């Protein structure tokens, strides 16, 4: 571990295809993210924000440049090492919740630990603790069909938290929610960042982005601007 930024991108490029069909999605991205920050990543379609998130989530690798996580150069890792980094340090939240319909909230949250081969008792205890963090322990035995959209997203966040990740990557986490539920999720993510978890969120909604401490705007494959979230002082 280092005392510098948790995440550093230096000169990151990403090219898809070859020859005449080649498309440069990222053209030299430089970005530093401190541990415990709540970062909203914004930009129009094709701006490079989703490609950057895939690289940050170790789901893709850059064509060139340096990606450091805890000081380790991620692009130099093997596929298996990147997979291990992803499982141990990263949690993922998606717009569509991605919950298993016929299983309870508790069982959905247990899934990452089941894939790790954790014993049943340990899985149950960790899942209950994670559901409690998002205020849904009383709903542990409910299936997704018995929960509201906001509650389902809280279960999805609990599932992402159950492995105690350093970073939570959220892709349009309020995209399927109404305004009231969206604000609840934003307040939860903000609270989580104050406990030391680094939250990286892609969003198209300015109102939601303002809950972040830092807003990073992408355009044409580059970071166009980095600014402070306007509502940070209101909600803290």
- In the three-class reduction of DSSP (H, G, I as helix; E, B as strand; rest coil), residue 62 is classed as coil
7-235: CATH topology is Rossmann fold (3.40.50)
Distance CA 201, CA 189 (A): 9
Helix (H, G, I), strand (E, B) or coil at 89: helix
Q: Is 92 helix (H, G, I), strand (E, B) or coil?
A: strand
| Angstrom distance (rounded) from CA 88 to CA 24 | 30
Q: Which tokens sit at 204?
A: 């198209």
The pTM assigned to this predicted structure is 0.90
pLDDT tens profile 123-144: 999 999 999 999 999 999 999 9
For 156-190, the pLDDT digits (tens) are: 999 999 999 999 999 999 988 999 999 999 999 99
Tokens of 187: 């307040």
Q: Give the domain ranges of the chain.
A: 7-235
If you count them, how many residues does the chain have? 236
What confidence score (pLDDT) does residue 102 get?
93
Whether 39 and 199 have beta carbons less than 8 Å apart is answered as: yes
């Amino acid at each position: 571990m280092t005392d510098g930024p948790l995440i550093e991108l230096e000169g990151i490029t990403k090219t898809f295809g070859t020859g005449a069909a080649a498309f440069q999605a990222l053209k030299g991205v430089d970005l530093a993210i401190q541990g415990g920050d709540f970062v909203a990543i914004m930009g129009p379609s094709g701006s490079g924000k989703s490609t950057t998130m895939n690289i940050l989530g170790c789901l893709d690798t850059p064509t060139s440049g340096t990606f450091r996580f805890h000081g380790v150069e991620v692009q130099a890792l093997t596929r298996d090492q990147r997979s291990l980094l992803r499982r141990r340090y990263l949690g993922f939240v998606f717009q569509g919740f991605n919950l298993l319909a016929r299983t309870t909230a508790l069982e959905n949250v247990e899934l990452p630990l089941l894939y790790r081969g954790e014993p049943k008792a340990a899985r149950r205890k960790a899942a209950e603790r994670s559901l409690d963090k998002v205020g849904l322990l009383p709903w542990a035995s409910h299936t997704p069909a018995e929960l509201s959209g906001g509650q389902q997203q809280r279960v999805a966040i609990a599932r992402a938290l159950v492995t105690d990740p350093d970073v939570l990557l959220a892709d349009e986490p309020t995209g399927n929610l109404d305004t009231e539920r969206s604000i609840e999720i934003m307040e939860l993510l903000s609270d989580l960042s104050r406990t030391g978890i680094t939250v990286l969120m892609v969003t198209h909604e300015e109102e939601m982005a303002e809950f972040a401490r830092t807003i990073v705007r992408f355009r044409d494959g580059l970071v166009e601007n980095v600014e402070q979230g306007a509502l940070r002082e209101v909600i803290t």
